[in-house]
């Protein structure tokens, strides 16, 4: 079976890494497939699965992409479509044009897309128009919030997908309600957690740990990038002030997303510069061209690689975020997490894990932090099949389907 694996943005890199490793290792997990339909006979000959890795270039920071590929042991992509930045429509069109040329030059039996970024939707549409089957890893997750571009990406992708690899029973049920037959749904677990578990022993202390004299469970990590939270400077200021006022003097580490960086800079990208892996002093933000004053206890730092960032998260007192993937990682690592959104596509992080939805009103932060400091935060658990073996299960399904094709 010839497979094309698509990755376009940093969250994708964490999700494709274990799949590529599973394909390259081959698989001997047939006995673990009792709960999967179509288990069939598993093959130990990995040569039956041939993959080609396509990087769409949606996240266009070559340094950070290279860091993730190197840290996670992902081989260099066979091609980079170099889609780059632009509006949603421009980026979607650029990816589709590039991926069409790629598939015409290198036909595939199956295109595998992951997650919910623009590349996921764009490459799914392109593949189906070329009569190529699509498999979606993380299928069925839903926030039911159509103001989020990712939700549209999920819905469009799942409407034309052939094989649905899911992370939770919530996702399974969402797909069934949409009319997807059970034989196309494969509950395999969470590939993000595969990567987390495989790399947890390799987490690496960032330089700022010593420069800030950080101690375990004595600091807070925040990440913010959603438009509702960061596109309006006044709203971002109120969020940061609420976090500062509620943190009981603990240092707050804030790796700054490019979108958020523009707001802090007053939309002047030249203002805020970070020395590599070091803390930016508050004085460097108070030039006349700077758009937003950040409280001095909040330390702005460059975006980090996977190993350094998760070293910080694992040892944090708490994480405040508007990301989805981080809520999964904090759940498995048992770190209290507050999500500044009104909905989540990963409800299992709330019903089972350590995450709570606070909404986007800064006033919700103070009472939540008070409960945390009072020792009243839930302990949480780990959702079913988040055991580090999702990619192995996916590989077994693909091998089984290939065996069925050969026998017909």
- SS3 call for 41: coil
Contact 127/111 with Cβ under 8 angstroms?
Answer: yes
Please report the DSSP string for 255-267 in residue order: EPPHHHHHHHTTS
Which residue in this structure is represented by tokens 């003097």? 249
16: which residues sit within 8 A by CB, 6+ positions away? 5, 7, 53, 74, 114, 191
Active-site hit among 21, 55, 106, 225: 225
- The CA R_g of the chain, rounded to the nearest whole Å, is 21
- SS3 call for 293: coil
Does residue 225 carry a catalytic annotation? yes
Contact 121/92 with Cβ under 8 angstroms?
Answer: yes
Cα 191 to Cα 390: distance, rounded to the nearest angstrom? 5
Please report the DSSP string for 80-149 in residue order: E----S--HHHHHHHHHHHHHHHHHHS--SEEEEETTSHHHHHHHHHHHHTT-EEEEETTT-----TTSH
34: which residues sit within 8 A by CB, 6+ positions away? none
CB atoms within 10 A of CB 218: 13
Give the catalytic positions in this structure: 225
């Amino acid at each position: 079976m010839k497979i094309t694996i698509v990755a376009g943005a940093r969250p994708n890199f964490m999700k494709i890494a274990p799949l590529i490793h599973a394909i390259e290792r081959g698989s001997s997990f047939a006995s673990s497939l009792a709960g999967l339909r179509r288990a069939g006979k598993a093959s130990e000959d990995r040569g039956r699965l041939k993959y080609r890795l396509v990087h769409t270039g949606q996240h266009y920071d070559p340094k950070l992409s290279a860091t993730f590929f190197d840290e996670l042991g992902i081989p260099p992509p066979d091609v980079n479509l170099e889609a780059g930045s632009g509006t949603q429509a421009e980026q979607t069109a650029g990816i589709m044009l590039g991926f069409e040329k790629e598939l015409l030059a290198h036909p595939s039996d199956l295109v595998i897309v992951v997650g919910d970024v623009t590349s996921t939707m764009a490459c799914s549409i392109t593949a189906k128009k070329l009569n190529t089957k699509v498999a979606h890893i993380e299928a069925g997750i839903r926030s039911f919030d159509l103001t989020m571009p990712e939700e549209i990406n999920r819905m469009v992708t799942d409407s034309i997908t052939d094989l649905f690899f899911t992370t939770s029973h919530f996702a399974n049920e969402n797909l069934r309600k949409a009319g997807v037959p059970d034989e196309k749904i494969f509950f395999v677990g969470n590939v993000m957690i595969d990567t987390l578990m495989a790399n947890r022993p390799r987490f690496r202390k960032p330089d700022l740990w010593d420069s800030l004299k950080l101690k375990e469970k004595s600091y807070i990590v925040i990440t913010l990038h959603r438009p509702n939270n960061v596109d309006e400077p006044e709203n971002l200021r109120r969020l940061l002030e609420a976090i500062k006022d509620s943190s009981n003097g603990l240092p707050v580490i804030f790796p700054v997303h490019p979108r958020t960086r523009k707001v802090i800079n007053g939309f002047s990208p030249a203002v805020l510069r970070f020395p590599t892996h070091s803390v930016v002093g508050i004085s460097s933000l108070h030039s006349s061209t700077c758009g937003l004053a950040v409280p001095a206890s909040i330390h702005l730092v460059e975006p980090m690689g996977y190993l350094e960032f998760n070293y910080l998260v694992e040892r944090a007192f708490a994480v405040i975020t508007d990301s989805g993937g981080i809520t999964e990682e904090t759940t498995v690592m048992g770190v209290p997490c507050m999500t500044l959104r009104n909905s989540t596509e990963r409800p299992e992080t709330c019903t089972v894990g350590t995450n709570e939805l606070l909404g986007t009103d800064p006033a919700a932060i103070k009472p939540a932090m008070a409960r945390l400091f009072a020792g009243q935060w839930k302990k949480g658990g780990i959702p079913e099949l988040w055991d580090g073996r999702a990619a192995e299960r996916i590989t077994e399904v693909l091998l089984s389907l290939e065996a069925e094709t050969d026998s017909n």
